[in-house]
Amino acid sequence: MSTIIIDGMAFAMPLFIIAVGGIYSERSGVTNLALEGFLGAGGFFGALFVACTSSLFAASSQLPMYLSLLVAMVGGGLYALLHAVLCIKFKANQVISGVVVNIIAMALTDFLTSQINTSVFGASSDRFVLSVSSRFTVPVLSSIPVLGGFFTNVYPFEVIILLVALAAYYLLYKTTFGMRLRACGDNPSAVDAAGGDVAGIRYIAVMLSGALSGLGGMCFAYSIFANYSSSIYVGYGYLAIAAMIFGNWKILPTFWACVLFGFARSGGYRLVQVLGMPSTYSDLIMILPYLLTLLLLVFFSKNNRSPRALGEIYDKGKR
């Protein structure tokens, strides 16, 4: 039982922060299918940082990991600028832009990873190897039956994500900026009339979205793959979008959706182990999160209320 909780949370938390990134972008009125590309690009910058600085730190040092999370956020935010410029400045169709941004992220990071490995590090490899993240166990709490799993073998990044998510929650719901951001998604003209800068707010929202996704991507790279390669593109960005849709574009319900995904996945793997099925069956387990997404979408999409101005290009001249 505790393995299910440990692995489930390690998967759910990065997914959650990526979904929060999606919420930021979409609540500001910019459709964001580019989360997959953001998380990959952010992870790429973070991993590149680790690869470049690995000689500066002691092998067991955990400092590069924390720094790489920061670099991934900055990198993801900068990469997200591409989506923002396409959608806001160039008035591109936001769905197309999202898909294009994803495709470019995959092509570019894949190419750059092997190219940098050959020309800078002199090794022909398609991945950046990361150190193994340490884990910690909270002494007393971890001995609580069942729930103790939440405090056992926790990745440090799970705590960081929790803190960042709290900050994101505060910013979105308790500040003037957050209120304006949400208003941009529902009624941009009103924001404009009140003296707000719709385009500016949307730029910031999309970049924050990229930063949060980058953080999530780097955490995925550490927890699931322990290295960075193109295998990071397995559709978790789209899972995050689905989680956001169940969560009705609100942060707290989205969190529960992510936890559900995490437990479905880790529970499935555990089941294969317990029943002693051959490894080919793990392919069937891999289906679970996607299948669950599709089923939940069928049940929940109908009653959902997406931001009213979502996907609309805001044109000041149009009234």
Partner 1 sequence: MKKNSMKKAFLAVMGSEKRQNITIPLLEVLLGLIAGTIIFLILGKNPIEAFAAFLQGCGLFPKENYAGGRGMFTDFLSYLDNWTPMIFAALAVAVAFKAGLFNIGVSGQMLLSGFIATITVGYSPLPAVVAKPLVILIGVVVGALLGGLIGYLKHRFNINEVVSAIMINYILQYLLSFFILSFYTNPITRQSNVVSDASRLTLQDVMIGDYKTVIPLGFLLALVAVAVMHYFINFTKFGYELKAVGFNGRASRYAGINVRRTIMKAMMTSGALAGLAGVTYYLGYLGSIQPRVLADLGYDSIAVSLLGNANPIGIVFSSFLITVISKGSTYMSSAVSVDQEIGSVITGLMLLFAACGAFVRYKLHMARVSVEEEAREAGKAGKGGDEK
By the criterion CB under 8 A, which residues form the site for partner 1? Answer: 33, 82, 86, 90-93, 95-100, 103-104, 106-108, 110-111, 114-115, 118-119, 234-235, 238, 241-242, 245, 280-281, 283-284, 286-287, 290-291, 293-294, 297-298, 301-302, 304
Q: What are φ and ψ of residue 122, in 5° steps? A: 65, 25
Smaller CB separation from partner 1, 1 or 103: 103
Least Å distance, CB 292 to partner 1, is 9
Smaller CB separation from partner 1, 66 or 111: 111
Least Å distance, CB 95 to partner 1, is 5
Q: Name, in order, each residue with C-beta under 8 angstroms of 107's C-beta and a sequence gap of 6 or more.
A: none
* Tokens 């500040």 -> residue: 175
- Decide the pairing of beta strands 128-129 and 227-228: antiparallel
Smaller CB separation from partner 1, 144 or 291: 291
Give the burial string for 282-296 (b: 16+ CB within 10 Å, else e).
eeebeebbeebbeeb
Query: Exposed, middle or buried by CB within 10 Å (0-12, 13-18, 19+), for 114?
Result: middle
Least Å distance, CB 88 to partner 1, is 11
Smaller CB separation from partner 1, 96 or 144: 96
Smaller CB separation from partner 1, 6 or 260: 260
Hey, is 120 helix, strand or coil?
Answer: coil
Q: Name, in order, each residue with C-beta under 8 angstroms of 313's C-beta and a sequence gap of 6 or more.
A: 87, 91, 94
Least Å distance, CB 111 to partner 1, is 4
Least Å distance, CB 294 to partner 1, is 5
